[in-house]
Amino acid sequence: MAELTSKPLDPSTWPDFARLVEDHRGVWGGCWCMGFHPDGLKGKTAEQNRADKHERVMAGQTHAALVFDGDDCVGWCQYGPTAELTRIKHRKEYEKELTVLPDWRITCFFVANKRRRQGIAAAALAGALRQIEQAGGGTVESYPEDTTYRKTSGSFLHNGTLTMFEREGFTRSRQIGKHAWVVTRTLS
C-alpha cells in the first residue's frame, strides 16, 4: 500500500471522484454527495445528481478532500461553507440551541467498500482540515456519531465517528441525536 495523500475535488480530480462513485453505484442509491447541498436529493435521479455535482465541481461550488492510495481515489470528506452545505441531519435538534453558524461544515465521508477500517476517513478529515486552513480557516463544525459501547457498520457512518474528530482536536458542543454530536474546532 502506497502512502495515502489527499487532493481537493476540482476539475482535474473529477474523473477520479466520478470513477469511485460509479464503482459504488452512485453511493447510497445515487446520492453523488449532493444530499447536504441546498437542492438536496428529493425527487432527483442518480443521473441528475451526477450532473448537478459535476456542474458544482466545474464552477468551484463544492469542496471535498479526496484520498488517494497511489493513483486510486479511495475515499473523501465533503466540507464547505455553511451556505454551500445547508442541509444536515438532526436539523430540528441542531437549531434548538443554535447561537451562531460556523464558517465551515464537514458533512460526510465515503470510503471504498474494500478499504474501510484502514484509516481512509481519518486521512480525508486531515486533508479537509488542511484545505480549510489554506482557505483562511475559521470555525469548523461537524456532526459525528458516538460509537462507544456499540457496534456500527462503517457503511452507515457517513458523518464519521466522534473519536476520529476528537483525535483531530475537535470538542463536543452538544448532543443532537441519540448518538450524534455537534463538534467544533477553530482553525487559523
pLDDT band at 109 (very low <50, low <70, confident <90, very high): very high
Alpha carbon distances (Å) from 104 to 4, 45, 54, 82, 123:
24, 28, 21, 5, 18
pLDDT mean over 101-109: 97
pLDDT band at 152 (very low <50, low <70, confident <90, very high): low
Coil, strand, or helix at residue 79?
strand
CA angle 167, 170, 174 (to 5 degrees): 125
pLDDT mean over 73-86: 97
Q: In 3D, which of 183, 81, 173 has the Cα closest to residue 132?
A: 81
Among 15-24, 45-54, 59-68, 112-121, whose mean pLDDT is lowest?
A: 112-121
DSSP conformation class of 99: -
* Structural Rg of the chain based on CA atoms: 15
Q: Is the dihedral of CA 169, 180, 175, 102 positive or negative?
A: positive
pLDDT value at residue 41: 84
